[in-house]
Structure 1
Amino acid sequence: MADIEAQTNKKMESDRLEATAFSTKANHPVTWRFNDIHYKIKSKQTSFLIPKKEKLDERTILKGLSGVVSPGEMLVMLGPSGSGKTTLLIALSGRINGHLDGAITYNGKPFSSEMKRRIGFVTQDDILHPHLTIVETLAFTALLRLPNTLTKQEKLAEVEVMISLLGLSKCKNTIVGSQTLRGVSGGERKRVSIGQEILVNPSLLFLDEPTSGLDSTTTQMILTMMGEFAKGGRTVVMTVHQPSSRLFYLFHKLLLLLEGNAVYFGKGSEVMDYFSSIRYSPSVPMNPSDFLLDLINGLSMNDPNEDPTIVKQKLVSSYKNNISEKLKSERQESDDEHWCKDGSYEDSNFEIWPTTWCQQFCVLLRREIKERRYESFSAMRVVQVLLIAFLCGFLWWQSDDSHLQDKLGLLYSIQNFWAFLPVLKAISTFSREQKILEKERSSGMYRLSSYFMSKSANDLPMELALPTIFTLIVYWMTGLKPTLPHFLATLFTILLNVLAFQGFGFALGALIMDQTAATILGSVLALAFVLTSGFFVQNVPQFFAWIKYLSIGHFTYKLLLISQFKADDTYPCPKFGGLCKVGEFPNIKQIGLEGKATTVLALVVMLVGYRLIAYIALLRIGVTKKN
């Protein structure tokens, strides 16, 4: 009896949570229309016989699609792979790049920054931070996307309700995981993705293949949940590959796509009657979705010998004759009936960003720290730096000015080591999170500047601590100038060099967004900077001498020389009478020991300039197209 009572109480609590979450009406219900949507892409093709000859191949992906979906309705797009489902979904959510013909309106208005905040989009692949737990993932989403009209405690309370609603209470403290990192199951991960979007109570929710790869029980739970979510006055649009017959009749509206053409748009309950009216019906009882997909692929059960091409042509023609004109009149009627009295979703209190810049920066910084707390490469880097530091210390043990060339080799090696290490690390900073950045920027979650600064700030402790430890070890072991001003000047130069090369890595990674290609190019350019630093080649040809002014390594090496030597300092040189001036040493004379302020300024300009390039390059990510 106790078990039965506990189960009953648990069921009542579940029903209460569901009622709390889904009975709340949408803040701004949206009637969504799309009319005569065309979308073409151009791609370069290389001729097989003439590899150097390229031609532009234009493909039409969407061919004049139209429809209307009202608040409280769930539209499902069905069609074989390559029919244009995902492309249409992305286009209708305002996230497509390129030229899109046709009109898409939301309560009669075009896409806007406010509408972007009213839209939720669940991608087919679950784009989540793998090292965060479920509760952390949803909490950071709530703190970033929910407005400041709610307190932090109220936002976190919403998270707890959502976790209970999604049935994730038992695993809420488990990391999300990924294909290479063990975490929650695929169905649980999908529910987390959906929960991120439901949290903000969107007026319009798009889902791309939300049931892909899931078992039938989880699939039914998700589709049922979406049906309940729509009942609160929201508009739900999703693509589904092949639903079961039990789930098929949950769909309020159905859009069937065939190679970019519509072959049906209307109520899901009436689709079989429509195809029967044009003489296409199953000869045996079967899953409606199986029959429709076979039919769209040109397989007619009425006449198995009928040419598939002819079947497809008949379906497209029948749609234009029987549904297209009727759809136009329905859209015209719905133009006069908006859920909002003024026909608008606009809010007089609307602000572009749900939270302040400082809030975004702090939350993103905390998320970044938590996400990367499990990474092992930081410990490996510490060991790497310590090994190189002691190796340098023993190789140049208490080197004095009688071996001036050896000291120059030490300074060059330090500059060289702290050129490649920060570049190779910084290159992957943005490329590994490109999909997450695209997803979150498209939803208007935060400013790009707050994201950029949080990434930079998270790397600073490690980027500054390791060079400092390295310098402390090497400086005193190798017998460099044993005074505090000389030590601080050397440390300042190394840190400035690290930050400048880090900015260079940021810029490369943001511009290329391919870790392998960026690493190769970064290694080549970093090596070019090192080679032009002035240690290896003093007599660079005039036509190529200008490159040193673009080299971080050149200015760093010069500043390291200035931090240790003055032109009037002397060193033992028995061949020339016992003592010689440091400023006359060939390798130093070529570079010079003057212009300290100018050298520092050049490195600061590079430090800021490369970061500015990286920031500008990131602006293109997650920018939605205004239709």
Structure 2
Amino acid sequence: MEEVTVEMEAQTRQSVGPIIFKKSNCPVTLKFEDVVYKIKSKTGGFLKKSKSEEKIILKGVTGMVLPGEILAMLGPSGSGKTTLLTALGGRLAGHLEGNITYNGKPFSSTMKRNVGFVTQDDVLYPHLTVTETFVYTALLRLPNSLSKEEKMIITEALITQLGLSQCRDSIVGNPFMGGVSGGERKRVSIGQEVIINPSILLLDEPTSGLDSTTAQRIVSTLWELANGGRTIVMTIHQPSSRLFYMFHKVLLLSEGNPLYYGKGLNAMDYFSGIQFAPTVAMNPSDFLLDLANGVSTGDSREDQTSIKRTLVCAYKANLAQSVKAELELDVNFCEGTEDKNVKKWTTSWWEQFSVLLRRGLKERKHESFSGLKIVEILAVTVITGLLWWQSDISHLQDQVGLLYFYSEFWGYVPFFNAVFTFPQERMMLEKELS
């Protein structure tokens, strides 16, 4: 297993290249202990009286991630991976119990600036190029202590380090419009969070929908980021075997219950020790997901339930105490700036307004001056001209009708264009406000 890890590390460094990411300014140790999350769901229909039922999403999850480590959270859909990741990023609202600390302190506005969060869906402007996306992000999020030239240098270095030099002038695109590839789009999303040099990087399914080679490049990039002293936590659904052995720690969840926490290299030995071993050679992540789904030897519902119950009991008996003992280890904390000395925004109101205005005009010019809009205006102009062609000027009612039509047309057309802009901007607004 150690030889496999050394080989994976060599492949990682070779694929990323000789350029090393800038080190984290303030390494952060992330601890979460007995995290429990509950929600209230309503049952019943329109005619029936609704009843409120409490559902437990996370059931006492514990772990710790040190600077320079990658924690991968595995589990089937609905196991609570994204919920836990959102809680670690300080974005989860509701009844959350447990203790989550960052260098021994609770989540604060200061720590919020040191956390990068990459969502599963890439929320990007499709008409902006890769370079423009990074430039506007740098102008918005980097502090005023850096000059514009320094921000441009950081942008250029980040494009090179992420391997996006070949597509720097290509538009980002979306599923309905051609642009960069899925892997390049994901690296752009990661780069938007890395540009502020975060101490903690949280990623939700960064390899979802990508082929194994592209997924390996993404994880290789994260490996290099971790080597710079960052704390990285990611959810991943079904990684390949070579990706699995690149993770420093693995957390396996099933219906909100932890089934395994520890080094990825020791996962197979642990489950073999509790009488759960694969009958044939297979991908470790596939085997772990089978166990999380309650699939081992039997296929009945009763067997699946009993297998999950056995694995939960085995975790509590064999790993729970050692995991909590790990949390007691002393680490070197990085004392950050106090909240009272930190400004609410890194840039001024006028700078934010000017950057957002320029970015909005750059993105919307393709809609305002699209061929369809031009044809629409010309067609309406021709039809209107034909309707009032050579009308007698003495007929005042005809002239009033023409003026009324012009005022209605040029009032409603821009109005509807503005109204339909808000749904498109909502996801980006929520992302940037968070």
Alignment TM-score, normalising by the size of structure 2: 0.88
Q: Provide, for residues 286-306 of structure 1, a one-character-per-residue CA deviation record: whole Å limited to 9, x for no partner.
A: 2111111111111125x7788
Q: Provide, for residues 577-600 of structure 1, a one-character-per-residue CA deviation record: whole Å limited to 9, x for no partner.
A: xxxxxxxxxxxxxxxxxxxxxxxx
Answering whether residue 115 of structure 2 is matched by residue 119 of structure 1, we say yes
Aligned-pair CA distance for 1:387: 5.2
Letter aligned with residue 435 of structure 1: M
Q: For residues 14 and 256 of structure 2, what CA distance do their matches in structure 1 show?
A: 46
Q: Provide, for residues 98-145 of structure 1, a one-character-per-residue CA deviation record: whole Å limited to 9, x for no partner.
A: 332222221122222222211111111111100111111111111111
Q: For residues 63 and 396 of structure 1, what CA distance do their matches in structure 2 show?
A: 78
Q: Provide, for residues 358-400 of structure 1, a one-character-per-residue CA deviation record: whole Å limited to 9, x for no partner.
A: 1111111111111122222653564366458647865986356
Q: For residues 97 and 389 of structure 1, what CA distance do their matches in structure 2 show?
A: 55
Match of 1:234 in 2: 230
- 2:200 corresponds to which of 191, 194, 204: 204
Match of 1:40 in 2: 38
- 2:393 corresponds to which of 395, 398, 405: 398
Match of 2:428 in 1: 436
Asked if the contact 1:30–1:345 (Cα under 8 Å) also holds between the matched residues in 2, the reply is: no
Aligned-pair CA distance for 1:167: 1.5
Partner SS for 1:293: helix
Query: Cα 1:392–1:338, aligned 2, differ >3 Å: closer, same or farther?
Result: farther
Query: Cα 1:181–1:188, aligned 2, differ >3 Å: closer, same or farther?
Result: same
- 1:361 corresponds to which of 333, 353, 357: 353
Answering whether residue 62 of structure 2 is matched by residue 79 of structure 1, we say no
Q: For residues 108-507 of structure 1, what are the structure 2 equivalents within 5 Å?
A: 108-301=104-297, 307-334=303-330, 337-340=331-334, 342=335, 344=336, 346=338, 350-375=342-367, 376=370, 378-380=373-375, 382-383=377-378, 386=381, 390=385, 398=393, 416-417=408-409, 420-442=412-434
Q: For residues 200 and 379 of structure 2, what CA distance do their matches in structure 1 show?
A: 51
Query: Cα 1:113–1:380, aligned 2, differ >3 Å: closer, same or farther?
Result: farther
Identity of aligned residues (%): 56
Answering whether residue 27 of structure 2 is matched by residue 29 of structure 1, we say yes
Asked if the contact 1:396–1:410 (Cα under 8 Å) also holds between the matched residues in 2, the reply is: no
Asked if the contact 2:34–2:61 (Cα under 8 Å) also holds between the matched residues in 1, the reply is: yes
Aligned residue-pair number = 418
Letter aligned with residue 433 of structure 1: E
Partner SS for 1:111: coil
Match of 2:90 in 1: 94
Aligned-pair CA distance for 1:242: 1.0
Asked if the contact 1:297–1:312 (Cα under 8 Å) also holds between the matched residues in 2, the reply is: yes
Aligned-pair CA distance for 1:81: 1.1
Moved more, 355-364 or 74-83: 355-364
Aligned-pair CA distance for 1:254: 0.9
Asked if the contact 2:183–2:218 (Cα under 8 Å) also holds between the matched residues in 1, the reply is: no
Asked if the contact 2:108–2:339 (Cα under 8 Å) also holds between the matched residues in 1, the reply is: no
Partner SS for 1:432: helix
Match of 2:58 in 1: 62
Letter aligned with residue 248 of structure 1: F
Query: Cα 1:385–1:356, aligned 2, differ >3 Å: closer, same or farther?
Result: farther
Partner SS for 1:105: strand
Query: Cα 1:65–1:388, aligned 2, differ >3 Å: closer, same or farther?
Result: farther
Letter aligned with residue 323 of structure 1: L
Query: Cα 1:143–1:304, aligned 2, differ >3 Å: closer, same or farther?
Result: same
Q: For residues 87 and 396 of structure 1, what CA distance do their matches in structure 2 show?
A: 68
Moved more, 381-390 or 216-225: 381-390
Letter aligned with residue 347 of structure 2: T
Letter aligned with residue 333 of structure 1: L
Q: For residues 327 and 251 of structure 2, what CA distance do their matches in structure 1 show?
A: 15
Asked if the contact 1:209–1:238 (Cα under 8 Å) also holds between the matched residues in 2, the reply is: yes
Gaps of 5+ in 2: 1-12
Letter aligned with residue 431 of structure 2: K
Q: For residues 243 and 345 of structure 1, what CA distance do their matches in structure 2 show?
A: 38
Query: Cα 1:346–1:271, aligned 2, differ >3 Å: closer, same or farther?
Result: farther
Q: For residues 273 and 210 of structure 1, what CA distance do their matches in structure 2 show?
A: 27
Using CA pairs below 8 Å that are at least 6 residues apart, which structure has the higher relative contact order?
Answer: 2
Gaps of 5+ in 1: 1-10, 443-627
Partner SS for 1:354: coil
Asked if the contact 1:107–1:345 (Cα under 8 Å) also holds between the matched residues in 2, the reply is: no
Q: For residues 366 and 87 of structure 2, what CA distance do their matches in structure 1 show?
A: 37
Q: Provide, for residues 257-281 of structure 1, a one-character-per-residue CA deviation record: whole Å limited to 9, x for no partner.
A: 0011111112222222221221111
Q: For residues 262 and 396 of structure 1, what CA distance do their matches in structure 2 show?
A: 80
Q: For residues 66 and 318 of structure 1, what CA distance do their matches in structure 2 show?
A: 15
Partner SS for 1:59: strand
Q: Over alpha carbons, which structure has the higher Rg?
A: 1
Q: For residues 173 and 57 of structure 1, what CA distance do their matches in structure 2 show?
A: 52
Q: For residues 226 and 192 of structure 1, what CA distance do their matches in structure 2 show?
A: 13
- Coordinate RMSD, CA, aligned: 2.8
Asked if the contact 2:294–2:308 (Cα under 8 Å) also holds between the matched residues in 1, the reply is: yes
Alignment TM-score, normalising by the size of structure 1: 0.62
Query: Cα 1:385–1:85, aligned 2, differ >3 Å: closer, same or farther?
Result: same
Partner SS for 2:179: coil
Letter aligned with residue 115 of structure 1: M
Q: For residues 194 and 153 of structure 2, what CA distance do their matches in structure 1 show?
A: 14
Q: Provide, for residues 528-584 of structure 1, a one-character-per-residue CA deviation record: whole Å limited to 9, x for no partner.
A: xxxxxxxxxxxxxxxxxxxxxxxxxxxxxxxxxxxxxxxxxxxxxxxxxxxxxxxxx
Aligned-pair CA distance for 1:52: 5.2
Q: For residues 337 and 233 of structure 2, what CA distance do their matches in structure 1 show?
A: 18
Query: Cα 1:397–1:102, aligned 2, differ >3 Å: closer, same or farther?
Result: farther
Aligned-pair CA distance for 1:180: 0.5
Q: For residues 427 and 387 of structure 1, what CA distance do their matches in structure 2 show?
A: 27
Aligned-pair CA distance for 1:93: 0.6
Query: Cα 1:237–1:79, aligned 2, differ >3 Å: closer, same or farther?
Result: same
Query: Cα 1:372–1:103, aligned 2, differ >3 Å: closer, same or farther?
Result: same
Q: For residues 55 and 160 of structure 1, what CA distance do their matches in structure 2 show?
A: 56
Q: For residues 57 and 327 of structure 2, what CA distance do their matches in structure 1 show?
A: 23
Q: For residues 81 and 175 of structure 1, what CA distance do their matches in structure 2 show?
A: 32
